[in-house]
Protein backbone atom coordinates (compact mmCIF):
# COMPACT_ATOMS: atom_id res chain seq x y z
CA UNK A 1 0.00 0.00 0.00
CA UNK A 2 2.80 2.43 0.91
CA UNK A 3 4.57 1.66 -2.36
CA UNK A 4 1.45 2.53 -4.39
CA UNK A 5 0.98 5.81 -2.52
CA UNK A 6 4.61 6.77 -3.26
CA UNK A 7 4.31 5.80 -6.94
CA UNK A 8 1.03 7.67 -7.43
CA UNK A 9 2.57 10.70 -5.70
CA UNK A 10 5.39 10.64 -8.26
CA UNK A 11 2.83 10.40 -11.09
CA UNK A 12 0.88 13.42 -9.81
CA UNK A 13 3.99 15.54 -9.17
CA UNK A 14 5.53 14.92 -12.60
CA UNK A 15 2.18 15.27 -14.35
CA UNK A 16 1.61 18.73 -12.85
CA UNK A 17 5.21 20.01 -12.81
CA UNK A 18 5.70 20.43 -16.61
CA UNK A 19 2.36 22.27 -16.87
CA UNK A 20 3.31 24.69 -14.08
CA UNK A 21 6.72 25.24 -15.69
CA UNK A 22 5.13 25.81 -19.12
CA UNK A 23 2.93 28.64 -17.80
CA UNK A 24 5.75 30.25 -15.83
CA UNK A 25 8.69 29.77 -18.17
CA UNK A 26 10.52 32.95 -19.00
CA UNK A 27 11.10 33.74 -22.63
CA UNK A 28 14.88 33.29 -22.41
CA UNK A 29 14.35 29.74 -21.11
CA UNK A 30 11.91 28.69 -23.83
CA UNK A 31 14.62 26.63 -25.52
CA UNK A 32 14.55 24.34 -22.46
CA UNK A 33 10.87 23.55 -22.96
CA UNK A 34 11.75 20.24 -24.66
CA UNK A 35 13.45 19.11 -21.48
CA UNK A 36 10.52 20.11 -19.28
CA UNK A 37 7.96 18.34 -21.49
CA UNK A 38 10.11 15.21 -21.42
CA UNK A 39 9.35 15.03 -17.67
CA UNK A 40 6.03 13.51 -18.76
CA UNK A 41 8.06 10.34 -19.42
CA UNK A 42 8.40 9.84 -15.67
CA UNK A 43 4.65 9.37 -14.88
CA UNK A 44 4.35 7.25 -18.04
CA UNK A 45 7.10 4.90 -16.87
CA UNK A 46 5.80 4.79 -13.28
CA UNK A 47 2.28 3.84 -14.45
CA UNK A 48 3.83 1.23 -16.76
CA UNK A 49 5.64 -0.30 -13.76
CA UNK A 50 2.39 -0.43 -11.75
CA UNK A 51 0.23 -1.72 -14.61
CA UNK A 52 2.47 -3.47 -17.15
CA UNK A 53 -0.04 -3.94 -19.98
CA UNK A 54 0.10 -2.57 -23.49
CA UNK A 55 -3.43 -1.11 -23.30
CA UNK A 56 -2.51 0.90 -20.21
CA UNK A 57 0.84 1.98 -21.66
CA UNK A 58 -0.67 3.20 -24.96
CA UNK A 59 -3.61 4.87 -23.21
CA UNK A 60 -1.32 6.69 -20.78
CA UNK A 61 1.01 7.82 -23.58
CA UNK A 62 -1.94 9.23 -25.56
CA UNK A 63 -3.32 11.00 -22.48
CA UNK A 64 -0.05 12.76 -21.68
CA UNK A 65 0.51 13.65 -25.34
CA UNK A 66 -2.92 15.30 -25.56
CA UNK A 67 -2.29 17.05 -22.23
CA UNK A 68 1.00 18.40 -23.55
CA UNK A 69 -0.56 19.74 -26.78
CA UNK A 70 -3.54 21.31 -25.00
CA UNK A 71 -1.27 23.00 -22.45
CA UNK A 72 1.06 24.23 -25.19
CA UNK A 73 -1.69 25.78 -27.31
CA UNK A 74 -3.38 27.39 -24.29
CA UNK A 75 -0.05 28.84 -23.12
CA UNK A 76 0.91 30.17 -26.60
CA UNK A 77 -0.72 33.46 -27.64
CA UNK A 78 -0.23 32.79 -31.33
CA UNK A 79 0.29 29.76 -33.52
CA UNK A 80 3.97 29.07 -34.18
CA UNK A 81 4.46 26.47 -36.88
CA UNK A 82 8.12 25.73 -36.04
CA UNK A 83 7.39 25.22 -32.34
CA UNK A 84 4.43 22.98 -33.16
CA UNK A 85 6.56 20.80 -35.47
CA UNK A 86 9.27 20.66 -32.79
CA UNK A 87 6.66 19.60 -30.23
CA UNK A 88 5.43 16.80 -32.49
CA UNK A 89 8.97 15.59 -33.11
CA UNK A 90 9.62 15.63 -29.35
CA UNK A 91 6.53 13.45 -28.93
CA UNK A 92 7.90 10.92 -31.44
CA UNK A 93 11.24 10.78 -29.62
CA UNK A 94 9.57 10.45 -26.21
CA UNK A 95 7.23 7.80 -27.61
CA UNK A 96 10.17 5.82 -29.02
CA UNK A 97 11.90 5.93 -25.64
CA UNK A 98 8.71 4.95 -23.77
CA UNK A 99 7.82 2.03 -26.04
CA UNK A 100 11.39 0.73 -26.05
CA UNK A 101 11.45 0.74 -22.25
CA UNK A 102 7.96 -0.79 -22.17
CA UNK A 103 8.98 -3.62 -24.48
CA UNK A 104 11.90 -4.64 -22.29
CA UNK A 105 9.90 -4.26 -19.04
CA UNK A 106 7.06 -6.43 -20.35
CA UNK A 107 9.48 -8.99 -21.71
CA UNK A 108 11.26 -9.07 -18.36
CA UNK A 109 7.94 -9.55 -16.51
CA UNK A 110 6.98 -12.37 -18.85
CA UNK A 111 10.32 -14.08 -18.25
CA UNK A 112 9.97 -13.68 -14.46
CA UNK A 113 6.48 -15.24 -14.55
CA UNK A 114 7.79 -18.12 -16.64
CA UNK A 115 10.64 -18.71 -14.20
CA UNK A 116 8.25 -18.58 -11.24
CA UNK A 117 6.08 -21.17 -12.97
CA UNK A 118 9.10 -23.43 -13.52
CA UNK A 119 9.87 -23.22 -9.80
CA UNK A 120 6.42 -24.33 -8.59
CA UNK A 121 5.05 -26.47 -11.46
CA UNK A 122 5.99 -30.06 -12.27
CA UNK A 123 6.96 -30.11 -15.96
CA UNK A 124 5.76 -33.70 -16.58
CA UNK A 125 2.26 -33.62 -15.10
CA UNK A 126 1.51 -29.90 -15.11
CA UNK A 127 0.57 -30.10 -11.43
CA UNK A 128 2.10 -27.91 -8.77
CA UNK A 129 5.17 -29.42 -7.08
CA UNK A 130 6.55 -29.85 -3.56
CA UNK A 131 7.80 -26.25 -3.50
CA UNK A 132 4.24 -25.01 -4.05
CA UNK A 133 2.99 -27.44 -1.38
CA UNK A 134 5.38 -25.93 1.19
CA UNK A 135 4.29 -22.38 0.30
CA UNK A 136 0.62 -23.39 0.40
CA UNK A 137 0.93 -25.01 3.82
CA UNK A 138 2.88 -22.03 5.15
CA UNK A 139 -0.12 -19.80 4.48
CA UNK A 140 -3.01 -22.25 4.87
CA UNK A 141 -2.28 -23.72 8.29
CA UNK A 142 -2.19 -20.36 10.16
CA UNK A 143 -5.38 -19.35 8.33
CA UNK A 144 -7.25 -22.51 9.37
CA UNK A 145 -5.97 -22.16 12.91
CA UNK A 146 -7.30 -18.62 13.01
CA UNK A 147 -10.81 -19.47 11.75
CA UNK A 148 -10.89 -22.91 13.42
CA UNK A 149 -11.81 -24.68 10.16
CA UNK A 150 -11.04 -28.35 9.37
CA UNK A 151 -8.26 -29.17 6.91
CA UNK A 152 -7.62 -32.58 5.33
CA UNK A 153 -4.38 -33.84 3.81
CA UNK A 154 -4.44 -36.92 1.58
CA UNK A 155 -1.24 -38.63 0.45
CA UNK A 156 -1.66 -40.68 -2.73
CA UNK A 157 0.71 -43.33 -4.06
CA UNK A 158 0.49 -45.29 -7.32
CA UNK A 159 0.45 -49.00 -6.54
CA UNK A 160 3.25 -51.14 -8.01
CA UNK A 161 4.64 -48.17 -9.93
CA UNK A 162 8.08 -49.79 -10.18
CA UNK A 163 6.51 -52.81 -11.89
CA UNK A 164 4.85 -50.55 -14.44
CA UNK A 165 8.26 -49.01 -15.22
CA UNK A 166 10.00 -52.39 -15.31
CA UNK A 167 7.36 -54.21 -17.38
CA UNK A 168 6.27 -51.46 -19.78
CA UNK A 169 9.11 -48.92 -19.73
CA UNK A 170 9.63 -45.49 -18.28
CA UNK A 171 7.53 -43.81 -20.96
CA UNK A 172 4.59 -45.84 -19.71
CA UNK A 173 5.48 -44.80 -16.18
CA UNK A 174 5.35 -41.16 -17.26
CA UNK A 175 1.94 -41.75 -18.84
CA UNK A 176 0.75 -43.37 -15.60
CA UNK A 177 1.77 -40.23 -13.67
CA UNK A 178 -0.09 -38.05 -16.16
CA UNK A 179 -3.12 -40.33 -15.98
CA UNK A 180 -3.34 -40.11 -12.17
CA UNK A 181 -2.79 -36.35 -12.35
CA UNK A 182 -5.74 -36.08 -14.74
CA UNK A 183 -7.93 -38.25 -12.48
CA UNK A 184 -7.12 -36.01 -9.50
CA UNK A 185 -7.95 -32.87 -11.51
CA UNK A 186 -11.32 -34.33 -12.51
CA UNK A 187 -12.34 -35.17 -8.96
CA UNK A 188 -11.18 -32.21 -6.84
CA UNK A 189 -13.16 -29.06 -6.11
CA UNK A 190 -12.00 -25.63 -7.23
CA UNK A 191 -11.14 -24.79 -3.61
CA UNK A 192 -8.86 -27.84 -3.22
CA UNK A 193 -5.11 -27.88 -3.84
CA UNK A 194 -3.13 -30.79 -5.24
CA UNK A 195 0.53 -31.38 -6.08
CA UNK A 196 2.93 -33.99 -7.31
CA UNK A 197 4.73 -34.53 -4.04
CA UNK A 198 7.61 -36.49 -5.51
CA UNK A 199 8.18 -39.69 -7.49
CA UNK A 200 4.83 -41.49 -7.74
CA UNK A 201 3.35 -39.68 -4.75
CA UNK A 202 0.74 -36.94 -4.82
CA UNK A 203 -0.71 -34.75 -2.07
CA UNK A 204 -4.24 -33.33 -1.98
CA UNK A 205 -5.32 -30.62 0.45
CA UNK A 206 -9.03 -30.25 1.18
CA UNK A 207 -9.85 -27.02 3.07
CA UNK A 208 -13.06 -26.73 5.09
CA UNK A 209 -13.46 -30.52 4.98
CA UNK A 210 -14.05 -32.81 7.95
CA UNK A 211 -12.69 -36.35 8.28
CA UNK A 212 -15.86 -38.02 7.00
CA UNK A 213 -15.96 -35.87 3.87
CA UNK A 214 -12.23 -36.43 3.34
CA UNK A 215 -12.66 -40.19 3.55
CA UNK A 216 -15.57 -40.15 1.08
CA UNK A 217 -13.54 -38.03 -1.35
CA UNK A 218 -10.53 -40.39 -1.08
CA UNK A 219 -12.72 -43.43 -1.66
CA UNK A 220 -14.39 -41.81 -4.65
CA UNK A 221 -10.98 -41.01 -6.17
CA UNK A 222 -9.70 -44.54 -5.49
CA UNK A 223 -12.71 -46.08 -7.27
CA UNK A 224 -12.43 -43.66 -10.19
CA UNK A 225 -8.78 -44.61 -10.74
CA UNK A 226 -9.47 -48.32 -10.29
CA UNK A 227 -12.23 -48.21 -12.89
CA UNK A 228 -10.38 -45.93 -15.31
CA UNK A 229 -9.09 -47.08 -18.67
CA UNK A 230 -5.32 -46.66 -18.67
CA UNK A 231 -3.73 -47.84 -21.92
CA UNK A 232 -0.24 -47.76 -23.36
CA UNK A 233 0.18 -48.56 -27.07
CA UNK A 234 -3.41 -49.83 -27.11
CA UNK A 235 -2.71 -52.25 -24.24
CA UNK A 236 -4.88 -51.94 -21.15
CA UNK A 237 -2.79 -51.74 -17.98
CA UNK A 238 -4.42 -52.18 -14.56
CA UNK A 239 -3.71 -49.22 -12.30
CA UNK A 240 -4.70 -48.42 -8.72
CA UNK A 241 -3.75 -46.09 -5.88
CA UNK A 242 -3.40 -46.22 -2.12
CA UNK A 243 -4.42 -43.21 -0.02
CA UNK A 244 -3.66 -42.02 3.49
CA UNK A 245 -5.99 -39.42 5.03
CA UNK A 246 -5.21 -37.16 8.00
CA UNK A 247 -7.07 -34.32 9.73
CA UNK A 248 -5.12 -31.29 10.91
CA UNK A 249 -5.11 -31.04 14.71
CA UNK A 250 -2.64 -28.29 15.52
CA UNK A 251 0.66 -30.02 14.74
CA UNK A 252 3.39 -28.47 12.56
CA UNK A 253 3.55 -29.15 8.82
CA UNK A 254 6.01 -32.03 9.21
CA UNK A 255 3.75 -33.69 11.77
CA UNK A 256 0.71 -33.23 9.53
CA UNK A 257 2.53 -34.87 6.59
CA UNK A 258 3.81 -37.67 8.84
CA UNK A 259 0.26 -38.56 9.89
CA UNK A 260 -0.90 -38.84 6.27
CA UNK A 261 2.26 -40.82 5.39
CA UNK A 262 1.65 -43.30 8.21
CA UNK A 263 -1.91 -43.84 7.00
CA UNK A 264 -0.60 -44.31 3.44
CA UNK A 265 2.01 -46.88 4.55
CA UNK A 266 -0.73 -48.72 6.43
CA UNK A 267 -2.83 -48.83 3.25
CA UNK A 268 0.09 -50.33 1.35
CA UNK A 269 0.83 -52.85 4.12
CA UNK A 270 -2.81 -53.93 4.10
CA UNK A 271 -2.64 -54.87 0.43
CA UNK A 272 -2.83 -51.55 -1.46
CA UNK A 273 -5.76 -50.14 -3.49
CA UNK A 274 -7.48 -48.80 -0.36
CA UNK A 275 -8.03 -45.77 1.85
CA UNK A 276 -6.74 -45.60 5.42
CA UNK A 277 -7.57 -42.87 7.92
CA UNK A 278 -4.84 -41.89 10.37
CA UNK A 279 -5.66 -42.79 13.96
CA UNK A 280 -3.53 -42.42 17.07
Q: Hey, which residues does 194 pair with through a beta bridge?
A: 204
**Catalytic, out of 116, 200, 254, 269:** 200
200 is catalytic: yes
Beta carbons of 156 and 184 less than 8 angstroms apart: yes
Closest CA to 55 of 65, 67, 47, 66: 47
DSSP 217-275: HHHHHHHHHHTS--EETTEE----EEEEEEE--S--HHHHHHHHHHHHHHHHHTTSSSE
> CA-CA distances (angstroms) from residue 23 to 15, 16, 68, 144, 182?
14, 11, 12, 59, 65
Catalogue the active-site residues.
Answer: 200
Amino acid sequence: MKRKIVLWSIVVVFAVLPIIIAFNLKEELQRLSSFFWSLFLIPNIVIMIMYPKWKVIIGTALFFSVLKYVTHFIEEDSFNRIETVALILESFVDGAILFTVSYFVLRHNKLVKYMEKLIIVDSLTGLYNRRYFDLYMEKTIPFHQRINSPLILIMVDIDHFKKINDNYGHLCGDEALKHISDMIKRNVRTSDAYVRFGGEEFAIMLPNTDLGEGQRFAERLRKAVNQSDFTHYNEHIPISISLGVSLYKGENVEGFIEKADKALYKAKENGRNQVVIFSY
